[in-house]
Amino acid sequence: MLLTVFAWMSYQSLMPVFSVVIPTRARSDTLRHALRTVVAQPEQDLEIIVHQSGDDPATAAVLAEFDDRRIRAFKTGEPVGMTENWERALQRATGEYILFLGDDDGLLLDACTIARHILTVHSTEVLFCRPALYFWPDYFDTRFRDRLFSFYGADSECVLKDSHTALGLIYRFRRHFSELPMIYHSFVARKLIERVYKSRSNYFLESMPDVSSAIVNLCFSEHFIRFNRPLCISGMSRHSTNARGTLSGIPELQSAAISEYGRLRIHPTMVPSHNHVLVVANALIIAKDELFPNTPPEFDYAAMLQHAVKALSEVPDQYELELAHCRAVAEKNGIGIDESDVGPGGPPIVLPPLGRHEIAPGVLSHTLDGQSVGVQNVFDATRVFDGLLPKLTNDLTKFTVEPTQLDALAFEAAKSTALNFSASGNGALLLGPGWSTVEDWGVWSMAPRAELVLPVTGPFRGALKLVIHGQIFHPPRTLRVRIEQQSRILYEREACLSTDVVALEPSSIELLTDNPADELRIVFAIDRCISPAELGVSADTRKLGFGLRRIEISAASDDPSAGRRNTTARSAA
């Protein structure tokens, strides 16, 4: 027993703080530059694991170029599938926190330094940030080559997010899958991974290993931290497996990408497809079956299909094929597709404008032409981003807690309720059919009709006042608003709106409810759904209508007792 304790203490003393793991397969051209970004980290308490699928002489030659004690190289000999290679690579890692990096990706120079500071100050098992994007000069889509994209906060901030809530929003398609805390581009604690191995024989599932890792992380953690500036760059090159499989539209590239996964399971409720929404959805359903088959959240097939149909225009050459896949999934699951969602093949993609733009208060986007700033590879890209991101102050501890998501309203206390539908708000679980994913400012409707479903708890008799704040895409547009309680219409109005900023203040509505399962439903209907891509203003192919920011609800009565009938909210369990 004493020997075991001493061995454990020795192991702990040798354990590095960070393991950066790079799985690779005969991609020496991009691996060289990805490794340069990791070797450049000033952090010395770091191991760099390069794990080859197969045994490639060119990869060995690249590794020989680096004289760095932190590098540990492994190979499988015979090539194996991506999921198996990732699993073997993970089992080689010894760090306290582990991050996976693609062999065409990069780490920003201060990534490990910032991560160490955050993880020292704040207790969390997952540190997530949204990576920047770099399209290599050899990317298959010539329109994107040499482009750099990033979203970041004007001021650095950490936000504590609830894992169970994040699961619910992802499975209802209220958050985009790029907001998932995958081990790919996130720092994940060894103790979380060890809990997974005590429960299961594998960490990665037989679907997309990056997406499935996020669901595993959320299932085995209580919360995670999102840092609002990139620490990594996601490189998009001719090697990028997911992009080749879902976005290239080139059958040869798609077949090669699928073969690299190894065994790629297709759930019985799905069909094989290259539509990226269906591919990610398949991974989510498989993860649910393996990790929480009989407990919430449930998977929203209708919302998934609505998003999948909106993505058809992203690969025009396979529009009809992917539409057939969507209809096949709908038929398998007894769901009808709203044909108004199915538009013609999309127009050519319009790239975001170059330069820096504020897309929401305190949230910036930045697009660069790589050639104009001397970028030839992902290492060069990291240096450019290191120079353009806002300088960090010595204090990186600005910290907020994400508001609790609301799943019902209770009209019982002398308080008003404010529902916020931005990515940092509290109203995403109340969004019904017809909405896109929430964004930093709010959420767009992406159908001619979109609904809010507001469950009401407890008995209530009285008048309510609502103020709805939002915006209109491409005015003038006609907006119809209806508020109903079960089959009873409480309010209905149609207005032609000529400005993009909207503040609707319906007349007071009389609410009468004694049913604990009662609900209010707010329906928004808008004419002439059109996408930014159709107008030539951006690459966004969603047919946008009404943009919902927030709703304020309070009592409305001349009765002095009205204050006792104002609204409060019950949070999601």
Which residue is associated with the tokens 């594998």?
202
| Rounded CA separation 158/385 (Å) | 20
Which residue is associated with the tokens 């019950």?
570
Domain 406-571 bears CATH identifier 1.10.150: no
Phi first, then psi, for residue 16 (nearest 5°) are -70, 160
DSSP run (H or E) holding 188: strand 187-189
| Rounded CA separation 474/465 (Å) | 28
The helices-and-strands tally (H runs, E runs) of the chain is 15, 27
| The pLDDT value given to residue 457 | 78
| The pLDDT value given to residue 347 | 58
Collapsing DSSP states into helix, strand and coil, what is residue 488?
A: strand
DSSP run (H or E) holding 256: helix 251-260
Collapsing DSSP states into helix, strand and coil, what is residue 532?
A: helix
Asked whether 527 and 477 are in contact (CB, 8 A), the reply is yes
| The pLDDT value given to residue 319 | 86
| Rounded CA separation 202/97 (Å) | 18
DSSP 8-class letter at 435: B
Closest listed residue to residue 222, CA positions, set 161, 157, 295, 299: 161
| Rounded CA separation 186/479 (Å) | 42
| Rounded CA separation 238/253 (Å) | 9
* pLDDT tens track, the chain, 573 positions: 434 433 433 444 478 999 999 999 999 999 999 999 999 999 999 999 999 999 999 999 999 999 999 999 999 999 999 999 999 999 999 999 999 999 999 999 999 999 999 999 888 999 999 999 999 999 988 889 999 999 998 888 999 999 999 999 999 999 988 899 999 999 999 999 999 999 999 999 987 899 999 999 999 999 999 999 999 999 999 988 777 777 767 777 777 777 777 667 899 999 999 899 999 999 999 999 999 999 999 999 999 998 898 888 777 788 889 999 999 999 999 998 876 667 666 555 677 889 999 988 889 999 999 999 999 999 999 999 998 888 776 666 688 999 999 888 876 545 688 999 999 899 999 999 899 999 989 999 988 889 999 888 766 677 888 899 999 998 888 999 999 888 888 889 998 888 888 888 877 787 776 665 678 899 999 988 788 877 877 777 788 899 999 999 887 655 444 433 333 443 443
Asked whether 463 and 557 are in contact (CB, 8 A), the reply is yes
Note the pTM of the prediction, 2 decimals: 0.89
CATH class of the domain whose range is 15-239? alpha beta
Closest listed residue to residue 495, CA positions, set 509, 508, 510, 476: 476
Length of the chain: 573
Q: How would you classify the pairing of strands 223-227 and 363-369? A: unpaired
Same-fold call for 15-239 versus 406-571: no
Phi first, then psi, for residue 67 (nearest 5°) are -105, 80
Q: Which residues pair with 189 in a beta bridge?
A: 97
| Domain edges within the chain | 15-239, 242-341, 406-571
| The pLDDT value given to residue 564 | 36
| The pLDDT value given to residue 251 | 76
